[in-house]
Structure 1
Amino acid sequence: MAGLAVAVVAVSTSAILVDVSDAPSLVKAVWRVVFMTALVAPFAVRERDQFESISGTDWVLVTVSGVLLAGHFAAWFASIDYTSIAASTTLVQTQPAFVAVGAWLLLDERVTARVAGGIVVAIAGSVLLSAGGLLGGATAGPNPSLGNALAVLGAASAAGYVLAGRSVRQRLSLAPYVFVVYGVCAATLVAVAVWQGTPLAGYAAHEWVLFLGMAVGPGLFGHTVINWALKYVESSVVSVSLLGEPVGSAVLALVLLAEVPGPFTVVGGAVILVGIAVTATGRNT
């Protein structure tokens, strides 16, 4: 549980680091994942014998996971440019609801009444939170509707990443798994940047510090530690613990950036958190 607490604190810094960087959102995503891949590479090399045991089907699943993770980063990083940090980080945490629906549709897992109720509550909270941007409010962002939609897309992509890679993680240890997924994710983001003609170099020194910070903090000590914790802590506990991210991000945004969430963001975010908590805790009931 101590490791999980560290991970939640680490991922809470992600939105702040992304927001204070002036680089294009795609560039932030590219270098975060490139540095994440480089950081886990030495650990993956120590277990390189595991790569030989990966089947063709698992390679396909890992590749899909990496592409979906790239979609998650690209959509969520872009969302922060258009909506508030509180709204973005709360909406992107609707991932457990998408996972529950995806598991029902793709993996034939039964959805209980509690899970269904939690999903409905979470969606209602999302509508309420988005209404704040449409009606106006403190530090809502230049285009809250677009930003909120991108955050939800980021949540759906993250859910797909979890669903595609869940079975592979059971057969492959942490370092080799995240190295391949991060590597595919990085290659996908670089390809998109090249296709769009987005320059990947020529940024100020402080931007490179921020890119590395995104990789070390929310990357290595955040999501990688979360993947490690899944081996020792029930998935429902991990999911509920991650609900601390939007709370932590909103607090940091208030303290560091003076970004005061409006009433719709506060109430809608609270409703979303209740819905996700019900969804996550109801999956084994």
Structure 2
Amino acid sequence: MRASVAWTLLGIGLFGVSSAGAVLLTMDDVPPIHKAAWRLQATTLLLMPFAIVERKRTQKEEHRFSGREVPLFVSGTFLAAHFGLWIASLDMTSLTHSLLFVTSHPFLILFGMFLLRHPVGSKAIAGVVAGGIGAILTTRDLSSTGGATLTGDLVALAGAAAIVGYLAIGRSLRQDMSLFAYALPVTGIAALQLTLAALFLEPSASAGLFGWLGPGHILAVAYLAFGPGLLGHTAINGAMRHIQPLIISVALTFEPIIGSIVGWMMGVSEIPGRWTVAGGLLMITGAILVIIDLEQSKSVDEPS
């Protein structure tokens, strides 16, 4: 693969995952847990044929579920919590704030390392300080009149914490499982949990548990499943073979910027305030410093 193709894949993947928030906001007549359930229902259906083809081409051991049921279930639970909390935050705070806080998981990973008494480098410490100052600055734009809110920001942050659990378990399971053998059951479990949550937590919703199959929302949900869901992550995984993981991780920190621009162009998000811009740039800079430190620590720990 040529370098230009790899960079194109990264651009496609980054745009795909960044556009999800704006598309979700277009479905303003659907409650958040229903939207989360719909997205993962559609993604599960989309993953099925790929899992079938992959099963025929890979070893049976990579598709074995025996002994992996509990971690697969827990991983699916974390994934359900991530989407449920993040999509709920979109209704509670601004798009930019939601994206800034839901992508702040590098800070949470570092906090976990600190609690476990793992060594933390100077770049990571500087990154946390910058990110903390940035988060505080964004609160200057908090509003009680429908804009950014502290509650919504905290819900998005909880969504970031959930993705840390999902990534940690996934990293362990993916060492012995093929891509779709892992992705299909985990996504299916998350879809089922969110569907049940929508049934009990949003019982009065007129959207329907499978309402995305109707003409009103099928295009938006299909895009979410195929664009951000399948194509976005597949393109990023493809680019990883030819672009350093550090570069890709840093590129993904720009999701709040790209997502905010997409939201503004689609008319579902306003231009963020100056404190959000200043604080957001500090948060992104801090996240980049943390990522660089973590990647450098990883390369030192790995045998040459």
Question: With structure 2 as the length reference, what TM-score do the two structures score?
Answer: 0.83
Superposed displacement of residue 51, structure 1: 5.3
Alpha-carbon distance, 1:254 to partner = 2.2
Amino acid paired to 2:197: V
**Contact 2:38/2:210 (8 A) holds in 1:** no
Q: Distance in 1 between matches of 2:10 and 2:61?
A: 26
2:273 aligns to what?
262
Decide whether aligned partners of structure 1 residues 200 and 180 sit closer, same or farther in structure 2, where only a CA change above 3 A counts: same
Which ranges of structure 1 fall in alignment gaps of 5 or more residues? none
Cα 1:214/1:193, change in 2 over 3 Å? same
Structure 1 residues 105-158: Cα deviation after superposition (integer angstroms, max 9, x where no partner): 56x753222223212321221222133115x7xxx8356111111111111111
List gaps (5 residues or longer) in structure 2. 1-5, 298-304
Q: Does 1:152 align with 2:152?
A: no
- What is the aligned partner in structure 2 of residue 213 from structure 1? 223
2:138 and 2:61 mapped to 1: Cα distance?
45
Mapped pair 1:74 → 2:84: yes
Specify the SS of the correspondent of 2:264. Answer: helix
- CA distance change for structure 1 residues 25 and 104 in 2, over 3 Å: closer, same or farther? same
Pick the aligned partner of 1:38 from 35, 40, 45.
45
Rounded to whole Å, the distance in 2 between the matches of 1:66 and 1:8 is 23
Q: Given that residues 141 and 148 in structure 2 are in contact (C-alpha distance below 8 angstroms), is that contact kept between their aligned partners in structure 1?
A: no
Q: Aligned residue for 1:12? A: 18
1:132-211 alignment runs, 5 A limit: 132-134=141-143, 141-142=146-147, 144-196=149-201, 197=203, 198=205, 199-202=208-211, 205-211=215-221
* Separation (CA, whole Å) in 1 of partners of 2:237 and 2:196: 26
- Which amino acid is the alignment partner of residue 262 of structure 1? G
Alignment deviations for residues 152-200 of structure 1 (CA, whole Å, 9 cap, x no partner) = 1111111111112111112222121111221111111112112222531
Which residue, out of 53, 68, 89, partners 2:99? 89
Counterpart of 1:23 in structure 2 is 30
1:175 counterpart letter in structure 2: F
Shift of 1:222: 1.8
SS at match of 1:16: helix
Q: Structure 1 residues 268-277 or 161-170, which shifts more?
A: 161-170
1:4 deviates by: 2.2
**Rg bigger for which structure?**
2
* 8 Å Cα contact 1:86/1:246 also seen in 2: yes
Return the alpha-carbon distance in structure 2 between the equivalents of residues 227 and 130 of structure 1.
35
Tell me the residue number matched to 1:272: 283
Contact 1:81 1:141 (C-alpha < 8 Å) held by counterparts = no
Counterpart secondary structure, 1:282: helix
CA contact (8 A) 1:130 1:148 kept: no
Change in CA separation of 1:226 and 1:141 when aligned onto 2, cut-off 3 Å = farther
Single out whichever of 6-15 and 59-68 deviates more from structure 2: 59-68
Q: How many residues align?
A: 279
Is the 2:94–2:148 contact (alpha carbons within 8 Å) kept by the matching residues of 1? no
Are 1:98 and 2:104 an aligned pair?
no
Letter in 2 for 1:194: L
TM-align CA RMSD: 2.3
Question: Structure 1: which amino acid aligns with 2:187?
Answer: Y
Cα distance in structure 2, aligned partners of 1:153 and 1:256:
27
67-76 vs 174-183, greater mean Cα deviation: 174-183
Change (3 A) 1:109 1:229: farther
| Alignment partners' CA distance in 1, 2:129 and 2:81 | 25
How big is each residue's C-alpha offset from its partner over 1:39-94, in whole Å with a ceiling of 9 and x where there is no partner? 111111123334553451x4322221111111110111011111111111111110
